[in-house]
A and B are shown apart, each in its own frame.
Chain A
Amino acid sequence: MSDTHAEPTRLAEAVVRFCGDSGDGMQLAGGQFADTSAIYGNDFATFPDFPAEIRAPRGTTFGVSGFQIHFSDHDIFTPGDAVQTLVAMNPAGFKTNIDDVESGGTVIVDEDEFTSTGLTKCGYPKDYNPLDDDAVIQKYRIIKVPISRLTRESLATSDLGAKAIDRCRNMYALGIVYWLYDRPLEPTIRFLERTFSERKKQPEIADLNIRALKAGYYFGETAELWQQRHRVVAAPQQAGTYRRISGNEAVVLGFVTAAHKAGKSLTYASYPITPASDIIHGLSRLKQFGVRTFQAEDEIAAVCAAIGASFAGDIGVTGTSGPGLALKGEALGLAVMMELPLVVVDVQRAGPSTGMPTKTEQADLFQAMYGRSGESPCIVLAPCTPSDCFTMAIEAVRLATAHMCPVILLSDAYIANGAEPWRVPDLGDIPSIDVQHPAADENANEFHPYDRINENLARPWAIPGTPGLEHRLGGLEKQAVTGSVSYDPDNHDAMLKLRADKVQRAAKSIPPVEVYGDQSGEMLVLGWGGTYGSLRTAVDQLRACGASVSLAHLRYLHPFPSNLGDVLKRFERVVVPEINLGQLSRVIRAEFLFDAVPINSARGRPLGVEMLVEEIAAIMNSGEVLA
């Protein structure tokens, strides 16, 4: 498409956020912007922000749905702190999102929605309209577009009803932003055709949406509301085939790939809970790979069924979020005692209790490490980005089967829902998972299920149906080797130590933690899980200012990588930023007697880069150096 305006100015990166009522299709518009940016070759990161209410009353602040995308011509790691362009489809969206827009940023609003009813509905005082407020006008570039009216006008010739037409407002708005950022329309047109014409057999709907999209684009071109358009060119990327992937999608693909690589079937048992439900949605569509999904009556039944499946020789996996992990605790102890492989994925959300179900937090670390009766060690892993969820899901299966013990995979709402480009791996490049079952032995006098022949102390995984290996497992303490019930005090003490030692030995098969930046120096930022993007960006910014700051990011939390103690010693100070009140920092202090300084912010969102930079810099500049 040609336009008569001057060449767009080049930007290295941009942050755009769409917001509106949860029925306004903001996730779809944002997702399309992300896909288009991806196909165009930008690096990107997204941050969908859902309301907790399913159908809040229209126009209220608690019904606001948002989708942020950060895209760039270089590597980026976060969806960005400050919004450069905000699209607000209604006053409620404006009200709840405007504070995140950078000073001087652009705000496109649907002015048709800023009626007195619309304004009071979201709690603005009577007779107040922020669009007329001088303080607002001076701080932001407010672009008032009658999106509702223009959408209706441009689709007036359609026979479809007003409702169908109004539903295209999101595409109109998207068209405007596409024009502003000089994005191609073709990917979205293709998407609309595929979704509506081909899949849902509703070509009229596809047509309507495409017309709205184009109308919005042409409006940008002709309305002359902007002197300047922007362009963010492609980021240099490694050659290959890429797709957009969210953390939950990556977990699904990771599990099914792991089962394939182990030559086993996957049983995934789960009870729906936000933000983990997408995992059972995804896996239940993969029956062609032998995946059995079990929607259990509760989280306890889910984990128990996964344990049963593991006993019978499947890859038993269960998934949940924090409150569900609490329910699974007792059964996890059983899996520890029976020494069966089991994977539990916990997509963390803000707690305690039901907390903020749609918001992110990383506060289940203590629960994963210690939240069971008795001495009950599990392996604990945490993916650090959406696409890393693929790698770590495979790792979880590998470690669970190799060490015959439960593995807890701590994802979080932010990486689960956020998306980024992912270079599609070649299945052949992924190492296979070597799973051994003892062979039938018709002449066996007695099979010893707790006889450990491996140097990693794993017991043999004999499965029902195998002649000669009949055996019983249970939650009662085991006599070493035979597995018979034993209350012998010395045996119990030895078995506790043995199970702990077994989990520790897993450290031998996990990669050492890498240090990004200088290998030794003044300050080490130590993080874990889904905060990677924020920490990496903050460290880059500090390093760009000449500060001696490095990053070590943990994806293996129990056991820790074997070089972690040495890494810590190479730095004068260590800060541990987390979205909790200081869980990893306490573990580090306890394990290494190291004065790890916590930085904690738990606001239901990813850590802000600006906040991190300020706090780390403040700690660096404060007083004496702790050796």
Chain B
Amino acid sequence: MPLPTYTPKDFATDQDVRWCPGCGDYAVLTAVRKALPKLGHRREDYVFVSGIGCAARFPYYMNTYGLHTIHGRSLAVATGIKLANPELQICVVSGDGDLFSIGGNHTIHAMRRNVDLTVLLLNNRIYGLTKGQYSPTSEQGKVTKSSPMGSPDFPVNPIALAVASGCTLIARTIDVDMKHFDAVYVRAMEHKGTSFVEVYQDCNIFNHKAWFYASQKESKFDATVVVEHGKPLIFGKDRDKGIRLRNGSPEVVTIGHGVSEADLLVHDETDRTLAFVYSQMAHPEFPEPIGVLYAETGKPTYDELVHEQIHAAREQRKGTEAEALQQLLHGAETWTVEQ
């Protein structure tokens, strides 16, 4: 059967979207609905899964199959879905608290298993749903309701953690940059294996402007660098700045003053070490890399490996399932009582 032609509306539900007006989640929702029709899957094969948080309301707003589960556990649930039916297209959408505080363990393990799914981290560097406590990605010293004297915690680095966990596609994008989001999201959904997309998302109620340096016209060209495979890392409003590697460490350079384009770091998305370098580039010292930071192909997925084993075991089975099962019930040693 040919695939129906979908429009974004086909993925909308009748549920009222209840994020605060101005929340960055709206833009992501719109962008996801727009992206899905390009992917070549039937609507009934999508499953959106989430934990708990503002961002985690996402599945209710997608006219696909969906599960809004419990705080931090979305990836464990998604793994089970994929185990049962590897044909399903799974997208996990959750916040930074959900995926890196309570769900940190599952995030590590889903990534190292390379379960075939896409994780969208809507990172607002705050707990939105519980009204404004600092989150695991909040900067040290952050003043919130639960940290009146500033948070003593040092933040987790989601990209570095994804690199360390063996995630096979790692990307970063920004809520308001629809075009960029679209390209990254389509790549992520098409990727076979775990893909992780960190989205800088504005919580305009509890952490407004946290990412403005990266999202606003005035600052974004200096504060971010868009990476594309095979292209040098050039940034700045006048595209006169670049990143050079020196003894393995990144360095901001200005093109022209004895530095040519040829000296710049060329993005290689298959280089895991480079992905780690990117994870260490933080504003304001560095422009923050945006785009597909790392993509590894060819690594088998968890669900694939499990099902290959099942397939192999079935091939070796003698007789029908019922015959084999009857044999199993008998076990190795039996005795018979005659009457």
Contact = CB atoms under 8 A, between A and B. Distances in A.
B70 A331 contact: yes
A237 B80 contact: no
Contacts of A249: 331
B330 interface: yes
Interface in A284-317: 286-292, 294, 296-298, 300-302, 304-314, 316
Contact of B68 (A426, A465, A475): A475
A240 B15 contact: no
A265 B44 contact: no
A476 B53 CA distance: 12
Interface in A161-219: 187, 191, 194
Interface in A534-568: none
Interface string A328-343: 0011011000100000
Contacts of B43: 467, 470
Contacts, number: 213
Task: Specify which of B67, B109, B310, B316 lies most central, judged by the most chain A CB atoms within 10 Å of its CB.
Answer: B67
Nearest to B306: A292
A427 interface: yes
B334 A484 contact: no
A582 interface: no
A468 B321 contact: no
B313 A287 contact: yes
A294 B75 CA distance: 14
A140 interface: no
A297 B329 contact: no
B319 to A, nearest CB: 10
A446 B63 CA distance: 10
Given A265-B84, A476-B68, A465 B45 contact: yes
Interface in B87-127: 87-88, 105-106, 108-109
Given A242-B334, A286-B328, A292-B310, A473 B66 contact: yes
B83 to A, nearest CB: 5
Contacts of A313: 84-85
A443 interface: no
Contact of B65 (A289, A314, A471): A471
A290 B106 contact: no
A309 B81 contact: yes
A300 B76 contact: yes
Contact of B69 (A260, A289, A302, A474): A474
B80 A305 contact: yes
Contacts of B64: 470
B313 A288 contact: yes
B78 interface: yes
B44 A473 contact: no
Contact of B73 (A331, A467, A471, A473): A331
A590 to B, nearest CB: 30
Task: Specify which of B59, B106, B322, B335 lies most central, judged by the most chain A CB atoms within 10 Å of its CB.
Answer: B335
Contacts of A424: 329-331, 334
B325 A289 contact: yes
Consensus secondary structure, chain A interface: mixed
A467 B322 contact: no
Contacts of A244: 333
Nearest to B78: A308
Interface in A242-259: 242-245, 249, 253, 256-257
B106 A301 contact: yes
B66 A256 contact: no
A1 interface: no
A604 interface: no
A465 B70 contact: no
A470 B336 CA distance: 53
A437 interface: no
Interface string B40-66: 001111011100100000011011111
B336 A242 contact: yes
Interface stretch (A33-41, A131-139, A348-356): A33-41
B84 A309 contact: yes
A313 B73 CA distance: 19
Interface in A23-58: 35, 38-39, 41
Task: Specify which of A241, A269, A288, A474 lies most central, judged by the most chain B CB atoms within 10 Å of its CB.
Answer: A288
Given A267-B80, A464-B45, A241 B335 contact: yes
Task: Specify which of A239, A253, A475 lies most central, judged by the most chain B CB atoms within 10 Å of its CB.
Answer: A475
Contacts of B331: 243, 245, 249, 424
B317 interface: yes
B183 interface: no
A575 to B, nearest CB: 36
Nearest to B311: A287
A307 B80 contact: yes
Given A286-B328, A427-B326, A470-B63, A294 B310 contact: no
B143 interface: no
A425 interface: yes
A622 B305 CA distance: 66
A257 B325 contact: yes
A425 B329 contact: yes
Given A35-B333, A239-B338, A240-B337, A253 B105 contact: no
A316 B337 contact: no
Contacts of B247: none
B44 A470 contact: yes
A308 B63 CA distance: 19
B309 A305 contact: no
Contacts of A427: 322, 325-326, 329
Task: Specify which of B108, B314, B330, B331 lies most central, judged by the most chain A CB atoms within 10 Å of its CB.
Answer: B331
B44 A301 contact: no
A267 B309 contact: no
B324 A267 contact: no
Contacts of B14: 446
B79 A472 contact: no
A41 B328 CA distance: 22
A493 B136 CA distance: 37
Nearest to B109: A297
Interface in B132-183: none
Contacts of B108: 297
B70 A243 contact: no
Given A292-B83, A304-B70, 17 more contacts: A243-B330, A243-B333, A243-B335, A287-B310, A288-B316, A294-B80, A297-B105, A301-B109, A308-B77, A311-B80, A314-B84, A334-B69, A464-B44, A465-B44, A467-B42, A472-B67, A474-B67
Interface of A: 35, 38-39, 41, 187, 191, 194, 237-245, 249, 253, 256-257, 260, 265, 267, 269, 286-292, 294, 296-298, 300-302, 304-314, 316, 330-331, 333-334, 338, 424-427, 446, 463-476, 484-485
Closest 3 A/B residue pairs (Cβ) = A308-B80, A474-B68, A305-B80
14 contacts: A239-B337, A242-B334, A242-B335, A243-B331, A243-B335, A269-B83, A290-B314, A294-B306, A308-B49, A308-B67, A311-B81, A314-B83, A316-B84, A472-B60
